[in-house]
Chains A and B, each alone.
Chain A
Amino acid sequence: MSTMDEPTPGGISAGAYESAQQNPDFIELRGRYRRFAFPMTAAFLSWYATFVLLSVFAADFMGTLLWGNISIGLVIGLGQFVSTALITWLYVRHANSRLDPLAEKLCHELEGSL
Protein backbone atom coordinates (compact mmCIF):
# COMPACT_ATOMS: atom_id res chain seq x y z
CA MET A 1 0.00 0.00 0.00
CA SER A 2 1.39 3.36 -0.92
CA THR A 3 1.35 6.14 1.64
CA MET A 4 0.42 9.77 1.12
CA ASP A 5 3.98 10.75 0.20
CA GLU A 6 4.95 7.87 -2.02
CA PRO A 7 4.62 8.77 -5.72
CA THR A 8 2.53 6.54 -8.01
CA PRO A 9 4.11 5.22 -11.23
CA GLY A 10 2.88 8.39 -12.98
CA GLY A 11 5.07 10.50 -10.68
CA ILE A 12 2.15 12.11 -8.86
CA SER A 13 1.57 11.14 -5.23
CA ALA A 14 -1.53 9.20 -4.27
CA GLY A 15 -2.42 11.98 -1.88
CA ALA A 16 -2.37 14.51 -4.72
CA TYR A 17 -4.90 12.45 -6.65
CA GLU A 18 -7.16 12.14 -3.63
CA SER A 19 -7.18 15.85 -2.98
CA ALA A 20 -7.66 16.57 -6.70
CA GLN A 21 -10.72 14.33 -6.59
CA GLN A 22 -12.23 16.70 -3.98
CA ASN A 23 -11.26 19.83 -5.94
CA PRO A 24 -14.41 21.78 -6.97
CA ASP A 25 -12.94 22.17 -10.47
CA PHE A 26 -12.65 18.40 -10.79
CA ILE A 27 -16.17 17.83 -9.50
CA GLU A 28 -17.38 20.35 -12.07
CA LEU A 29 -15.40 18.57 -14.84
CA ARG A 30 -16.84 15.20 -13.90
CA GLY A 31 -20.33 16.68 -13.83
CA ARG A 32 -19.94 18.29 -17.25
CA TYR A 33 -18.65 15.02 -18.70
CA ARG A 34 -21.33 12.82 -17.17
CA ARG A 35 -24.25 15.19 -17.78
CA PHE A 36 -23.39 15.04 -21.48
CA ALA A 37 -22.20 11.45 -21.99
CA PHE A 38 -24.84 9.56 -19.99
CA PRO A 39 -28.04 11.10 -21.41
CA MET A 40 -26.56 11.03 -24.91
CA THR A 41 -25.74 7.32 -24.53
CA ALA A 42 -29.30 6.65 -23.37
CA ALA A 43 -30.59 8.63 -26.36
CA PHE A 44 -28.64 6.88 -29.11
CA LEU A 45 -29.23 3.44 -27.59
CA SER A 46 -33.00 4.11 -27.45
CA TRP A 47 -33.01 5.36 -31.04
CA TYR A 48 -31.09 2.25 -32.13
CA ALA A 49 -33.46 0.01 -30.14
CA THR A 50 -36.39 1.72 -31.87
CA PHE A 51 -34.95 0.76 -35.24
CA VAL A 52 -34.25 -2.83 -34.18
CA LEU A 53 -37.59 -3.44 -32.46
CA LEU A 54 -39.62 -1.87 -35.27
CA SER A 55 -37.72 -4.03 -37.77
CA VAL A 56 -38.64 -7.12 -35.78
CA PHE A 57 -42.17 -6.41 -34.58
CA ALA A 58 -43.43 -3.95 -37.20
CA ALA A 59 -41.85 -5.39 -40.33
CA ASP A 60 -44.83 -4.40 -42.51
CA PHE A 61 -44.64 -0.80 -41.34
CA MET A 62 -40.86 -0.67 -41.91
CA GLY A 63 -41.33 -2.24 -45.35
CA THR A 64 -43.82 0.42 -46.47
CA LEU A 65 -42.41 2.18 -49.52
CA LEU A 66 -42.19 5.96 -49.28
CA TRP A 67 -40.66 7.10 -52.57
CA GLY A 68 -40.02 4.63 -55.36
CA ASN A 69 -38.29 1.67 -53.71
CA ILE A 70 -37.17 3.48 -50.57
CA SER A 71 -38.87 1.96 -47.51
CA ILE A 72 -39.55 3.60 -44.15
CA GLY A 73 -37.10 1.13 -42.55
CA LEU A 74 -34.32 2.20 -44.90
CA VAL A 75 -34.96 5.84 -44.07
CA ILE A 76 -34.86 5.14 -40.32
CA GLY A 77 -31.72 3.04 -40.90
CA LEU A 78 -30.05 5.91 -42.73
CA GLY A 79 -31.31 8.13 -39.90
CA GLN A 80 -29.00 6.12 -37.62
CA PHE A 81 -26.08 7.31 -39.76
CA VAL A 82 -27.27 10.91 -39.47
CA SER A 83 -27.75 10.70 -35.68
CA THR A 84 -24.32 9.10 -35.24
CA ALA A 85 -22.68 11.94 -37.17
CA LEU A 86 -24.68 14.53 -35.22
CA ILE A 87 -23.84 13.10 -31.79
CA THR A 88 -20.16 12.82 -32.74
CA TRP A 89 -20.15 16.50 -33.77
CA LEU A 90 -21.99 17.59 -30.61
CA TYR A 91 -19.63 15.64 -28.37
CA VAL A 92 -16.48 17.01 -29.98
CA ARG A 93 -17.87 20.55 -29.65
CA HIS A 94 -18.77 19.92 -26.00
CA ALA A 95 -15.38 18.34 -25.22
CA ASN A 96 -13.37 21.08 -26.91
CA SER A 97 -15.17 23.97 -25.26
CA ARG A 98 -16.42 22.60 -21.94
CA LEU A 99 -14.11 19.72 -20.96
CA ASP A 100 -10.62 20.33 -22.35
CA PRO A 101 -9.88 23.73 -20.74
CA LEU A 102 -10.82 22.45 -17.29
CA ALA A 103 -9.01 19.12 -17.77
CA GLU A 104 -5.84 20.89 -18.93
CA LYS A 105 -5.94 23.26 -15.96
CA LEU A 106 -6.25 20.37 -13.51
CA CYS A 107 -3.58 18.38 -15.33
CA HIS A 108 -1.11 21.27 -15.13
CA GLU A 109 -1.83 21.77 -11.45
CA LEU A 110 -1.11 18.09 -10.77
CA GLU A 111 1.89 17.60 -13.02
CA GLY A 112 3.29 21.06 -12.37
CA SER A 113 3.57 20.33 -8.66
CA LEU A 114 6.19 17.62 -9.30
Chain B
Amino acid sequence: MRFLFKTDYRQDIGLAKHPGHVFWYSLLALLLLAAPWLIAEYWLAQLTFVLIYAIAGLGLMLLAGFTGLFSLGHAAFLGVGAYAQAVLVGAGWPFPLALACAAGLSAAAGLVVGLPALRVKGIYLGMATLSFGFIVEEVFARWESVTGGNAGMHVKAPTLFGWSLASGEAFYFLCLTITVVATLGMLNLLRAPTGRAFVAIRDSEISAQSMGIHLARYKTLSFALSAALAGIAGALYAHKLQFISPDQFNILQSIDLLLMIVIGGLGSVHGVFLGAIFLITMPQAISLVKDYLPAVIGQAPGLQAAVYGLVLIAFVLFEPMGLYGRWLKIRAYLQLFPFYRKGMFKRQKSFQKSDRLK
Protein backbone atom coordinates (compact mmCIF):
# COMPACT_ATOMS: atom_id res chain seq x y z
CA MET B 1 0.00 0.00 0.00
CA ARG B 2 1.57 3.24 -1.03
CA PHE B 3 1.09 6.46 0.90
CA LEU B 4 2.17 9.65 -0.77
CA PHE B 5 4.00 11.83 1.74
CA LYS B 6 4.40 15.23 0.25
CA THR B 7 7.03 17.49 1.70
CA ASP B 8 7.31 20.10 -1.00
CA TYR B 9 4.96 21.97 -3.32
CA ARG B 10 7.24 21.04 -6.18
CA GLN B 11 6.37 17.42 -5.55
CA ASP B 12 2.71 18.23 -5.95
CA ILE B 13 3.28 20.21 -9.11
CA GLY B 14 5.64 17.75 -10.73
CA LEU B 15 4.46 15.21 -13.27
CA ALA B 16 5.87 12.17 -11.51
CA LYS B 17 4.16 11.87 -8.17
CA HIS B 18 6.48 9.28 -6.68
CA PRO B 19 9.55 7.22 -7.59
CA GLY B 20 7.36 4.37 -8.81
CA HIS B 21 6.06 6.60 -11.60
CA VAL B 22 9.59 7.43 -12.67
CA PHE B 23 10.53 3.75 -12.78
CA TRP B 24 7.54 2.47 -14.74
CA TYR B 25 7.45 5.30 -17.27
CA SER B 26 11.20 5.03 -17.86
CA LEU B 27 10.71 1.34 -18.51
CA LEU B 28 7.92 2.14 -20.93
CA ALA B 29 10.14 4.68 -22.66
CA LEU B 30 12.92 2.12 -23.04
CA LEU B 31 10.55 -0.47 -24.45
CA LEU B 32 9.11 2.03 -26.92
CA LEU B 33 12.58 3.10 -28.04
CA ALA B 34 13.65 -0.51 -28.51
CA ALA B 35 10.42 -1.52 -30.24
CA PRO B 36 11.73 -1.68 -33.81
CA TRP B 37 14.18 -4.33 -32.73
CA LEU B 38 11.79 -6.19 -30.46
CA ILE B 39 8.67 -6.66 -32.54
CA ALA B 40 7.84 -7.66 -36.08
CA GLU B 41 7.37 -5.05 -38.78
CA TYR B 42 3.61 -5.56 -38.97
CA TRP B 43 3.14 -4.90 -35.26
CA LEU B 44 5.44 -1.89 -35.49
CA ALA B 45 3.11 -0.47 -38.10
CA GLN B 46 0.14 -1.11 -35.81
CA LEU B 47 1.98 0.60 -32.97
CA THR B 48 2.58 3.58 -35.25
CA PHE B 49 -1.16 3.74 -35.89
CA VAL B 50 -1.77 3.62 -32.14
CA LEU B 51 0.48 6.64 -31.75
CA ILE B 52 -1.19 8.52 -34.59
CA TYR B 53 -4.67 7.89 -33.21
CA ALA B 54 -3.42 8.81 -29.75
CA ILE B 55 -2.37 12.25 -31.00
CA ALA B 56 -5.83 12.80 -32.46
CA GLY B 57 -7.32 11.39 -29.28
CA LEU B 58 -5.34 13.85 -27.14
CA GLY B 59 -6.99 16.64 -29.06
CA LEU B 60 -10.48 15.23 -28.74
CA MET B 61 -9.94 14.42 -25.06
CA LEU B 62 -8.89 18.03 -24.47
CA LEU B 63 -12.03 19.28 -26.16
CA ALA B 64 -14.58 16.74 -24.95
CA GLY B 65 -13.08 15.20 -21.84
CA PHE B 66 -11.55 18.27 -20.26
CA THR B 67 -13.52 21.24 -21.62
CA GLY B 68 -16.82 19.41 -21.95
CA LEU B 69 -17.43 20.41 -25.58
CA PHE B 70 -18.49 17.34 -27.49
CA SER B 71 -17.46 17.31 -31.10
CA LEU B 72 -19.23 14.78 -33.31
CA GLY B 73 -17.34 15.74 -36.44
CA HIS B 74 -13.73 15.63 -35.35
CA ALA B 75 -12.65 13.58 -38.35
CA ALA B 76 -13.02 16.79 -40.35
CA PHE B 77 -9.95 18.25 -38.63
CA LEU B 78 -8.10 15.00 -39.24
CA GLY B 79 -8.98 15.37 -42.91
CA VAL B 80 -7.95 19.02 -43.12
CA GLY B 81 -4.55 18.12 -41.74
CA ALA B 82 -4.19 15.11 -44.02
CA TYR B 83 -5.12 16.97 -47.20
CA ALA B 84 -3.08 20.04 -46.28
CA GLN B 85 -0.04 17.86 -45.75
CA ALA B 86 -0.61 15.90 -48.94
CA VAL B 87 -1.00 19.03 -51.04
CA LEU B 88 1.92 20.91 -49.52
CA VAL B 89 4.36 18.02 -49.62
CA GLY B 90 3.20 17.29 -53.14
CA ALA B 91 4.04 20.89 -54.04
CA GLY B 92 7.56 20.39 -52.78
CA TRP B 93 7.39 22.01 -49.34
CA PRO B 94 9.84 20.63 -46.75
CA PHE B 95 8.22 18.19 -44.37
CA PRO B 96 8.46 20.13 -41.08
CA LEU B 97 7.08 23.28 -42.67
CA ALA B 98 4.23 21.38 -44.26
CA LEU B 99 3.45 19.75 -40.94
CA ALA B 100 3.38 23.10 -39.17
CA CYS B 101 1.09 24.49 -41.85
CA ALA B 102 -1.21 21.49 -41.65
CA ALA B 103 -1.48 22.03 -37.92
CA GLY B 104 -2.10 25.73 -38.47
CA LEU B 105 -4.79 25.16 -41.08
CA SER B 106 -6.54 22.66 -38.83
CA ALA B 107 -6.34 25.11 -35.95
CA ALA B 108 -7.92 27.73 -38.20
CA ALA B 109 -10.67 25.26 -39.05
CA GLY B 110 -11.08 24.72 -35.33
CA LEU B 111 -11.55 28.44 -34.86
CA VAL B 112 -14.14 28.51 -37.62
CA VAL B 113 -16.13 25.84 -35.84
CA GLY B 114 -15.38 27.19 -32.39
CA LEU B 115 -16.69 30.70 -32.90
CA PRO B 116 -20.33 29.85 -33.62
CA ALA B 117 -20.03 27.06 -31.07
CA LEU B 118 -19.71 29.68 -28.36
CA ARG B 119 -23.42 30.40 -28.60
CA VAL B 120 -24.70 26.85 -28.39
CA LYS B 121 -24.50 24.12 -25.81
CA GLY B 122 -24.88 20.42 -25.40
CA ILE B 123 -26.71 18.60 -28.15
CA TYR B 124 -26.82 21.69 -30.35
CA LEU B 125 -23.03 21.87 -30.26
CA GLY B 126 -22.94 18.22 -31.22
CA MET B 127 -25.21 18.97 -34.16
CA ALA B 128 -23.10 21.94 -35.24
CA THR B 129 -19.91 19.88 -35.23
CA LEU B 130 -21.69 16.98 -36.95
CA SER B 131 -22.88 19.32 -39.69
CA PHE B 132 -19.42 20.80 -40.05
CA GLY B 133 -18.00 17.32 -40.44
CA PHE B 134 -20.39 16.46 -43.27
CA ILE B 135 -19.77 19.74 -45.05
CA VAL B 136 -16.00 19.34 -44.88
CA GLU B 137 -16.21 15.78 -46.18
CA GLU B 138 -18.26 16.99 -49.13
CA VAL B 139 -15.78 19.81 -49.78
CA PHE B 140 -12.97 17.24 -49.96
CA ALA B 141 -14.98 15.28 -52.49
CA ARG B 142 -15.98 18.24 -54.67
CA TRP B 143 -12.81 20.37 -54.66
CA GLU B 144 -11.23 18.09 -57.21
CA SER B 145 -8.59 20.49 -58.41
CA VAL B 146 -6.92 20.42 -55.01
CA THR B 147 -7.92 17.17 -53.40
CA GLY B 148 -8.45 14.89 -56.36
CA GLY B 149 -12.05 14.35 -55.31
CA ASN B 150 -13.44 10.93 -54.61
CA ALA B 151 -10.66 9.28 -56.54
CA GLY B 152 -8.31 10.11 -53.71
CA MET B 153 -4.81 11.44 -53.60
CA HIS B 154 -1.37 9.93 -53.31
CA VAL B 155 0.96 11.25 -50.62
CA LYS B 156 4.70 11.51 -51.06
CA ALA B 157 6.99 9.97 -48.49
CA PRO B 158 8.22 12.28 -45.74
CA THR B 159 11.83 13.47 -45.78
CA LEU B 160 13.55 15.34 -43.03
CA PHE B 161 16.62 17.38 -43.98
CA GLY B 162 17.36 15.04 -46.85
CA TRP B 163 16.89 11.76 -44.94
CA SER B 164 13.95 9.74 -46.06
CA LEU B 165 11.53 8.82 -43.31
CA ALA B 166 9.68 6.39 -45.45
CA SER B 167 10.94 3.28 -43.70
CA GLY B 168 8.82 1.77 -40.97
CA GLU B 169 11.35 2.40 -38.21
CA ALA B 170 12.14 5.99 -39.10
CA PHE B 171 8.49 6.90 -39.38
CA TYR B 172 7.79 5.16 -36.10
CA PHE B 173 10.39 7.28 -34.32
CA LEU B 174 8.96 10.42 -35.89
CA CYS B 175 5.50 9.54 -34.61
CA LEU B 176 6.87 8.58 -31.21
CA THR B 177 8.65 11.91 -30.85
CA ILE B 178 5.58 13.89 -31.82
CA THR B 179 3.38 11.84 -29.50
CA VAL B 180 5.71 12.37 -26.55
CA VAL B 181 5.92 16.10 -27.20
CA ALA B 182 2.14 16.38 -27.57
CA THR B 183 1.49 14.37 -24.41
CA LEU B 184 3.93 16.43 -22.35
CA GLY B 185 2.40 19.63 -23.71
CA MET B 186 -1.04 18.41 -22.74
CA LEU B 187 0.03 17.35 -19.25
CA ASN B 188 1.71 20.71 -18.76
CA LEU B 189 -1.43 22.53 -19.81
CA LEU B 190 -3.48 20.50 -17.37
CA ARG B 191 -1.32 21.30 -14.36
CA ALA B 192 -1.32 25.01 -15.18
CA PRO B 193 -4.02 27.72 -15.08
CA THR B 194 -5.05 27.13 -18.71
CA GLY B 195 -5.93 23.50 -18.16
CA ARG B 196 -7.75 24.30 -14.94
CA ALA B 197 -9.76 26.93 -16.78
CA PHE B 198 -10.85 24.25 -19.27
CA VAL B 199 -11.98 21.96 -16.47
CA ALA B 200 -13.82 24.87 -14.85
CA ILE B 201 -15.73 25.51 -18.07
CA ARG B 202 -16.69 21.84 -18.20
CA ASP B 203 -18.01 21.72 -14.67
CA SER B 204 -19.79 25.05 -14.27
CA GLU B 205 -19.72 27.84 -16.82
CA ILE B 206 -21.39 30.44 -14.63
CA SER B 207 -18.95 29.77 -11.84
CA ALA B 208 -16.00 29.86 -14.22
CA GLN B 209 -17.10 33.28 -15.44
CA SER B 210 -17.36 34.61 -11.93
CA MET B 211 -13.80 33.41 -11.31
CA GLY B 212 -12.69 35.61 -14.18
CA ILE B 213 -12.40 32.99 -16.92
CA HIS B 214 -13.15 34.45 -20.35
CA LEU B 215 -15.44 31.74 -21.72
CA ALA B 216 -15.19 32.68 -25.36
CA ARG B 217 -11.40 32.85 -25.32
CA TYR B 218 -10.89 29.51 -23.61
CA LYS B 219 -13.51 27.63 -25.59
CA THR B 220 -11.98 28.91 -28.81
CA LEU B 221 -8.51 28.01 -27.58
CA SER B 222 -9.70 24.52 -26.76
CA PHE B 223 -11.17 24.09 -30.22
CA ALA B 224 -8.04 25.43 -31.90
CA LEU B 225 -5.61 23.26 -29.90
CA SER B 226 -7.74 20.19 -30.32
CA ALA B 227 -8.06 20.75 -34.05
CA ALA B 228 -4.31 21.40 -34.38
CA LEU B 229 -3.54 18.06 -32.72
CA ALA B 230 -6.04 16.31 -34.98
CA GLY B 231 -4.40 18.04 -37.94
CA ILE B 232 -0.97 16.77 -36.99
CA ALA B 233 -2.39 13.29 -36.57
CA GLY B 234 -4.07 13.60 -39.96
CA ALA B 235 -0.80 14.62 -41.62
CA LEU B 236 1.01 11.63 -40.15
CA TYR B 237 -1.92 9.40 -41.11
CA ALA B 238 -1.65 10.62 -44.70
CA HIS B 239 2.04 9.76 -44.84
CA LYS B 240 1.51 6.37 -43.26
CA LEU B 241 -1.24 5.29 -45.61
CA GLN B 242 0.36 7.04 -48.60
CA PHE B 243 -3.12 7.45 -50.03
CA ILE B 244 -6.08 9.44 -48.76
CA SER B 245 -9.66 9.83 -49.92
CA PRO B 246 -12.64 11.75 -48.55
CA ASP B 247 -14.46 8.72 -47.24
CA GLN B 248 -11.68 8.07 -44.74
CA PHE B 249 -12.75 11.20 -42.88
CA ASN B 250 -16.46 10.58 -42.61
CA ILE B 251 -18.88 10.25 -39.70
CA LEU B 252 -17.71 6.72 -39.00
CA GLN B 253 -14.18 7.97 -38.41
CA SER B 254 -15.54 10.66 -36.10
CA ILE B 255 -17.46 8.05 -34.16
CA ASP B 256 -14.31 5.91 -33.99
CA LEU B 257 -12.44 8.79 -32.38
CA LEU B 258 -15.24 9.30 -29.86
CA LEU B 259 -15.39 5.57 -29.18
CA MET B 260 -11.68 5.72 -28.45
CA ILE B 261 -11.92 8.37 -25.79
CA VAL B 262 -15.10 7.05 -24.21
CA ILE B 263 -13.84 3.49 -23.92
CA GLY B 264 -10.42 4.72 -22.85
CA GLY B 265 -11.88 6.80 -20.07
CA LEU B 266 -13.17 10.37 -20.35
CA GLY B 267 -11.17 12.98 -18.55
CA SER B 268 -7.80 11.28 -18.34
CA VAL B 269 -4.71 11.32 -20.54
CA HIS B 270 -4.11 7.62 -19.84
CA GLY B 271 -7.54 7.01 -21.32
CA VAL B 272 -6.39 8.37 -24.68
CA PHE B 273 -3.66 5.76 -25.00
CA LEU B 274 -5.76 2.90 -23.67
CA GLY B 275 -8.51 3.87 -26.09
CA ALA B 276 -6.10 4.07 -29.02
CA ILE B 277 -4.69 0.64 -28.20
CA PHE B 278 -8.26 -0.68 -28.01
CA LEU B 279 -9.24 0.88 -31.33
CA ILE B 280 -6.29 -0.62 -33.19
CA THR B 281 -6.23 -4.03 -31.54
CA MET B 282 -9.96 -4.71 -31.66
CA PRO B 283 -10.07 -5.55 -35.37
CA GLN B 284 -6.99 -7.74 -34.90
CA ALA B 285 -8.63 -9.53 -32.01
CA ILE B 286 -11.79 -10.06 -34.00
CA SER B 287 -9.92 -11.53 -36.93
CA LEU B 288 -7.97 -13.81 -34.60
CA VAL B 289 -11.12 -15.11 -32.94
CA LYS B 290 -13.09 -15.30 -36.17
CA ASP B 291 -11.62 -18.62 -37.17
CA TYR B 292 -12.75 -20.28 -33.98
CA LEU B 293 -16.35 -19.23 -34.35
CA PRO B 294 -18.94 -21.07 -36.43
CA ALA B 295 -18.83 -19.81 -40.01
CA VAL B 296 -22.26 -18.22 -39.69
CA ILE B 297 -20.91 -15.75 -37.15
CA GLY B 298 -17.25 -15.69 -37.95
CA GLN B 299 -17.41 -14.96 -41.65
CA ALA B 300 -20.35 -12.58 -41.54
CA PRO B 301 -19.55 -9.11 -42.90
CA GLY B 302 -21.28 -7.17 -40.14
CA LEU B 303 -19.35 -8.80 -37.31
CA GLN B 304 -17.01 -5.91 -36.67
CA ALA B 305 -19.79 -3.33 -36.46
CA ALA B 306 -21.84 -5.55 -34.17
CA VAL B 307 -18.90 -6.21 -31.86
CA TYR B 308 -17.98 -2.51 -31.70
CA GLY B 309 -21.55 -1.63 -30.88
CA LEU B 310 -21.83 -4.27 -28.16
CA VAL B 311 -18.52 -3.29 -26.58
CA LEU B 312 -19.52 0.37 -26.56
CA ILE B 313 -22.86 -0.45 -24.96
CA ALA B 314 -21.16 -2.67 -22.40
CA PHE B 315 -18.68 0.01 -21.43
CA VAL B 316 -21.26 2.73 -21.06
CA LEU B 317 -23.50 0.47 -19.00
CA PHE B 318 -20.95 -1.23 -16.81
CA GLU B 319 -17.76 0.77 -16.86
CA PRO B 320 -18.50 4.44 -17.48
CA MET B 321 -15.04 5.40 -16.28
CA GLY B 322 -13.62 3.46 -19.20
CA LEU B 323 -10.53 1.29 -19.38
CA TYR B 324 -8.57 3.69 -17.23
CA GLY B 325 -11.30 3.54 -14.61
CA ARG B 326 -11.14 -0.25 -14.64
CA TRP B 327 -7.37 -0.04 -14.23
CA LEU B 328 -7.76 2.27 -11.24
CA LYS B 329 -10.10 -0.24 -9.63
CA ILE B 330 -7.71 -3.11 -10.28
CA ARG B 331 -4.81 -1.10 -8.92
CA ALA B 332 -6.79 -0.18 -5.81
CA TYR B 333 -7.62 -3.84 -5.32
CA LEU B 334 -3.98 -4.85 -5.61
CA GLN B 335 -2.78 -2.04 -3.38
CA LEU B 336 -5.35 -2.63 -0.67
CA PHE B 337 -5.29 -6.40 -0.77
CA PRO B 338 -6.87 -8.05 1.21
CA PHE B 339 -8.72 -4.99 2.48
CA TYR B 340 -10.42 -4.03 -0.78
CA ARG B 341 -14.07 -3.33 -0.07
CA LYS B 342 -16.63 -4.26 -2.66
CA GLY B 343 -18.46 -0.98 -2.54
CA MET B 344 -15.43 1.27 -2.96
CA PHE B 345 -16.21 2.53 -6.42
CA LYS B 346 -19.93 2.01 -6.22
CA ARG B 347 -21.85 4.59 -8.15
CA GLN B 348 -24.74 6.32 -6.49
CA LYS B 349 -28.06 5.68 -8.15
CA SER B 350 -28.44 8.74 -10.27
CA PHE B 351 -31.72 10.27 -11.32
CA GLN B 352 -32.38 12.08 -14.54
CA LYS B 353 -32.22 15.81 -14.16
CA SER B 354 -32.72 18.31 -16.92
CA ASP B 355 -29.49 19.18 -18.66
CA ARG B 356 -31.01 22.34 -20.05
CA LEU B 357 -31.27 23.77 -16.59
CA LYS B 358 -27.71 22.87 -15.62
Q: Are A and B interaction partners? A: no
Interface residues of A (CB under 8 A from B): none
Interface residues of B (CB under 8 A from A): none
